[in-house]
Amino acid sequence: MKHVEAKARPGEATPELPNVEVTLKINGEAYRLRFDSRVTLLDALRDHLGLTGAKKGCDQGACGACTVLVDGQRIVACLALAAQYEGREITTVEGLSNGEPHPMQEAFARHDAFQCGYCTPGQIMSAVSLEAEGRAGTEEDICEFMSGNLCRCGAYANIRAAIRDVVSEGNDASL
């Protein structure tokens, strides 16, 4: 288990809001962390563990750039307090592959399903979950269940094509 002591930032951890100590299981690895009780899962991943795949977009849960999986279900990490996820299996885009690209990552590359790439990790995590949930049966389903992930560049058609490709090929896009 890796131990990580968070550095205090201005305005963090006061006697009224003490630090908490939690063990988070991320991408199959356990991390013992100590941080302010208000730290979001996104900030714990990015600032305390250096896992920068999940992006900080709107910081309000509206864009999906910070999407990660918790126990196989997608969540927006910017709205989740890290301390609430002790003992749960957290998967980030960094944890999708074991040396080889995940089928969904390959499909995104094949279909040019990214422009600037900022939303891509969140889109991929949502797409992996969507496929695993069995909700990628129709174009309308894909549109509906991916609607929480925004792409400022407008690569939606290519994102949907990548998802359809994985589903139609019968690739196992689960974890």
* Strand order from edge to edge, sheet including 73-76: 2-5, 29-36, 19-26, 89-91, 67-70, 73-76
pLDDT confidence tier of residue 1, bands split at 50, 70 and 90 = confident
Q: Which residues of 90-115 are buried (b: 16+ CB within 10 A; e: fewer)?
A: bbbbbbbeeeeebbbbbbbeebebbe
| Entry pTM | 0.87
Q: Which tens digit of pLDDT belongs to each residue from 119-175?
A: 999 999 999 999 999 999 899 999 999 999 999 999 999 999 999 999 998 765 555
Q: Token pair 């999407």 is at which residue?
A: 67
Say if CB 35 and CB 82 are below 8 A apart: yes
pLDDT for res 70: 98
Rounded mean pLDDT, 76-98? 96
pLDDT confidence tier of residue 115, bands split at 50, 70 and 90 = confident
pLDDT for res 104: 97
- By DSSP bridging, strand 89-91 and strand 19-26 are parallel
Is pLDDT at 48 greater than 90 in this prediction? yes
The closest alpha carbon to 160, from 147, 171, 172, 170, belongs to 147
3-state secondary structure of 105: helix
Query: How far is it, in rounded angstroms, from Cα 93 to Cα 68?
Result: 7
> For 124, what's the count of Cα atoms within 13 Å in the CB-facing half-sphere?
30
3-state secondary structure of 125: helix
pLDDT for res 16: 67
pLDDT for res 12: 56
